[in-house]
Amino acid sequence: MAVATNSAGHPIDLREPSGWRRSKNQIMTILMWLALVIILIPLGFVLVTLISKGAGAISWQFLTNSTIPPNVVPLGTGGMGAAVVGTLEITGFAALLAIPLGVLGAVYLNEYGGNGILARLISFMSSVMTGVPSIVMGLFIYIIWVLHFGYSGMAGSFALACLMLPIVIRSSYEMLRLVPDSLRQGSYALGATKARVTLTVVLPTALSGIVSGALLAVARAAGETAPLLFTILTVEQTNSNLFSGPDTALPFQIFSNAQSAYTGAEARAWGAALTLVAITFILMIVARIITALFTRNTR
């Protein structure tokens, strides 16, 4: 190996940094890996517990039987069908409200607002709003809706929609910003109006990113309990009417069963928790697949 020399001809030490500097570097690298291990332990622990305790509770009857039994009843009678139906209806309707509004809001921010003060304010406040506690959204809908029109699944949807709206705005806005300006200019050159350019060129280009962001927002909302506590009340029977009468949902049932001392209630809570986690993971995996397909197409 040739010895490196400086301009004066003296050899330069090009060896690895030695001693304490090197050990410190190694210690820090090990600590970083340790951080990853530390966070994987609870995740693995919770998933293993969920599967070992929840899988035994889940059966076709558990998922579809429309009567939620009282807490004292052991596992085997009744099921969580009412909560499954409630979760799907309430979250679905919330998505129906929040996704179009959120995407429109993002369109305003990116296509119309420009660098104006209003657009900047809305953009800033929407990111602040993602940090508003979900329980505050529940209280808000309780005051403006439930006090006047009573408990219903729809009230729960409103609360979840308030929670999803800023998340959808932020993620869609990030996607719209990635659409190249040349596409817009090309369409304008053909004489299209701005609304037409947005609807037929800009949004389709960003579609997969918007969809995957929206699905992540839905996954987060589906697991929320706090906004539902004061908006849907609770029932033991399936309430398929979203628009009137108290309703129930999986997170709500898990929360109330977790506070019970009966083993039947606890087993049902684990079963419901596994079902809920399965629903949110599926939504997230679909979102990931869409993103992966999208990035492959653009490459």
Residue 33 neighbours by CB distance under 10 Å = 9
Residue 36 burial (10 A CB sphere; 0-12, 13-18, 19+):
exposed
Kindly state whether residue 144 participates in binding another protein, applying the rule CB under 8 A.
yes
Q: Give the separation between CA 291 and CA 288, rounded to whole angstroms.
A: 5
262 touching another protein, by CB under 8 A = no
Task: Identify the DSSP state of 232.
Answer: T
Range in contact with another protein (rule: CB under 8 A) among 20-28, 56-64, 202-210, 240-248: 20-28
Number of residues that bind another protein (CB under 8 A): 97
281 binds another protein (CB under 8 A): yes
Which residue in 101, 208, 92 sits closest to 165, CA to CA?
Answer: 101
For the bound state, the minimum distance from the C-beta of residue 283 to another protein, rounded and expressed in Å, comes to 8
Q: Which range of residues in 70-78, 206-214, 236-244, 250-258 is near another protein by CB under 8 A?
A: 250-258
Task: Give the chain's length.
Answer: 299
If one asks whether residue 91 binds another protein (CB under 8 A), the answer comes out as no
Nearer to another protein, 159 or 242 (CB): 159
Q: How far is the CB of 4 from another protein (least distance, A)?
A: 13
Residue closer to another protein, measured from CB, 17 or 204: 17
CB 287 within 8 A of CB 219: yes
8 A C-beta contact, residue 12 and residue 5: yes
Binder of another protein out of 5, 24, 61, 77 (CB under 8 A): 24
Token reading at 3: 């010895």
Residue 124 makes contact with another protein by CB under 8 A: yes
Of 3-11, 56-64, 73-81, 138-146, which segment contacts another protein by CB under 8 A?
Answer: 138-146
- Which of the residues 167 through 206 are near another protein (CB under 8 A)? 169, 181, 185, 188-189, 193-199
Instruction: Tell me the C-alpha distance between 228 and 223, whole Å.
Output: 10
Q: Is 111 in the site for another protein (CB under 8 A)?
A: yes
DSSP string, 248-291: --HHHHHHHHHT---HHHHHHHHHHHHHHHHHHHHHHHHHHHHH
Site for another protein in 42-61 (CB under 8 A): 42-43, 45-46, 49-50
